[in-house]
Every structure is written in structure tokens, then in C-alpha cells.
Amino acid sequence: MAIGIPICVQCGTKSNPCRCKVVGPTVGFLAFAAAAIVEWPVGAMVYCFRHVKGRRIMAHPAAVVYPTVNGAIPI
């Protein structure tokens, strides 16, 4: 049994000459998953008492972490 590493490819970008990104989206996904493991349970607990704040916490990995990491690596 083997465990694979997810490889994400984003084509059609203008951030590099070949117009494809592999490293940025892949590292972005791994950062998203790591942040989600921590933030989603915390957000669920906060949501019980403060709905809007809980939603913001649970949306943070997708709205902030992934785009920031993906945009920081141009290849």
C-alpha cells in the first residue's frame, strides 16, 4: 500500500513563461490541509456561540492560506 502526495497543476497563468504552475498549487494545498486540520474544529466550537466568527475561522484556510501560498510561488 502506498500513500501518494497530491500534485496540483494550474495552467493558463501568466506568472511564468510556460504558463503552468505545479509547485505553488501543490504547496498551497498542503498548507490548506494543515491549516484546516487545526482551524475547522476550532471554528466549529466557536460557531456554537458566535456564528459569524465561526464561519470566518472555518473559511480562513480556503480564503487566505491557499491563495497566499499559491500566489507566493510563481512556478
Q: What is the model's pLDDT at position 20?
A: 82
Residue type at 14 in one-letter notation: K
Instruction: Give the helix ranges, DSSP H, for the chain.
Output: 23-47, 51-60, 66-72
**DSSP three-state, residue 43:** helix
The strand pairing partners of 21, in sequence order, are 10
CA dihedral 18→19→23→29, nearest 10 degrees, is -170
Tell me the pTM. Answer: 0.81
pLDDT of residue 53: 96
Q: What is the pLDDT of residue 1?
A: 61
CA pair distance 39, 37, nearest whole angstrom: 6
Please list the pLDDT of the chain residue by residue as tens digits (75 residues): 656 767 888 887 777 777 888 888 889 999 999 999 999 999 999 999 999 999 999 999 999 999 999 888 888
